[in-house]
Amino acid sequence: MSVFDRHAVRRAFGRAAATYAQAAALQREVESRLLEQARELEPRVPARVLDLGCGPGAAAAALKAAWGRRTTVVAVDLALPMLRAARAKSRFWRPIHAVQADAQALPFAEASFDLVFSNLCLQWVADLPATLGGLRRVLREEGLLLFSTFGPGTLVELREAYAAAGHEPPLSPFASLQQVGDTLLAQGFRDPVVARDRYTLTYPDTTALMRELQALGATDARTGRPRGLAGKGRHRAVAAAYEPLRRDGRLPSSWEVLTAMARAPAPGAPRREGGVDIARFPADRLPIRRRRG
């Protein structure tokens, strides 16, 4: 069973399209660093770039501005309102191509892109190995995969407050640094590098934190999430459990950000599936030996 309800994810980010940009201070900081890495790691002008989980399109616009007319930028998001916001940043002299699609089922041909860029999106996929396998498929040989995602140290104070109050945290699971690195290797990517950064944001109270998460679209989208309203009693209990962490009048919130980069291998390079190495080759590249009569 999938960890996430795909329709709930799409609804949450669709509703957040109008509020995301204003609330996404941390996301903008991570995006800025990731864009700088993209320009450093890809000195040549890439012909085609994919911005996966583009949100309101700030990164797609920056990628287009960095390389200009020689680069085609394709912005992909699950939520149509996010794509509308991204299209609003497109100009006829710098067009951005918007495509509504699921990160786990990309509608692109093999070897379509020179660079896949994704900022804080992949924590929302239910099957990370399959998703990274799909990204390998759409990357040309030696193409660059560059993404950020949240690690398990994210919102740890909120998780612990819910547990202390006797409630299950309404938060998604996050892959660890080792899991991300191992998955990249298992999918056959070359020279993967995964780094970790820790950020601490502060809030006046838990209500402000929860409102920010809602403005970002980061609501509970698990398939097994409880339905219905949580109730004021639960909110008060969680707030009381969180309160001892207050310092200088503010409540801290930890965010662990993983940044990963890797190169796509040659066609046919093996990947790990079910504990064994499996290699696939295009039929027209297989040598044929014919007997002479």
Q: Is residue 227 part of a domain?
A: no
CB 176 within 8 A of CB 151: yes
Mean pLDDT of 242-269: 95
Domain that holds residue 177: 6-154+172-200+254-270
Position 245 in a domain: no
Q: Is 129 a member of any domain?
A: yes
Question: What distances in angstroms separate CA 21 from CA 82, 215, 244, one per listed residue?
Answer: 11, 9, 31
Residue 165 lies in a domain: no
Can you point out the beta strands (E) in 111-237?
Answer: 113-119, 139-150, 190-203
Residue 247 covered by a domain? no
pLDDT tens profile 122-174 = 999 989 999 999 999 999 999 999 999 999 999 999 999 999 999 888 888 89
Least confident interval from 3-17, 173-187, 197-211: 3-17
Q: Can you tell me the distance from the alpha carbon of 78 to that of 105, in angstroms, rounded to the nearest whole number?
A: 11
Residue 286 in domain: no
Q: Is residue 60 situated within a structural domain?
A: yes
Question: Is residue 162 one of the residues assigned to a domain?
Answer: no
Give per-residue pLDDT as tens, 256-276.
999 999 999 998 777 655 554
β-pair partners for 193: 261
pLDDT at 66 over 80: yes
User: Cα separation of 188 and 264, whole Å?
Assistant: 8
Name 134's bridge partners. none
Per-residue pLDDT, 227: 55
What are phi and psi for residue 151, nearest 5 degrees? -100, 175
Helix and strand numbers, DSSP H then E, in the chain: 10, 9
Q: What is the pTM of this model?
A: 0.88
Q: Which residue has the tokens 């929302």?
A: 124
| CATH number, domain containing residue 11 | 3.40.50.150
Counted domains in the chain? 1
Helical segments of 42-176, H only: 58-67, 80-87, 128-138, 156-164
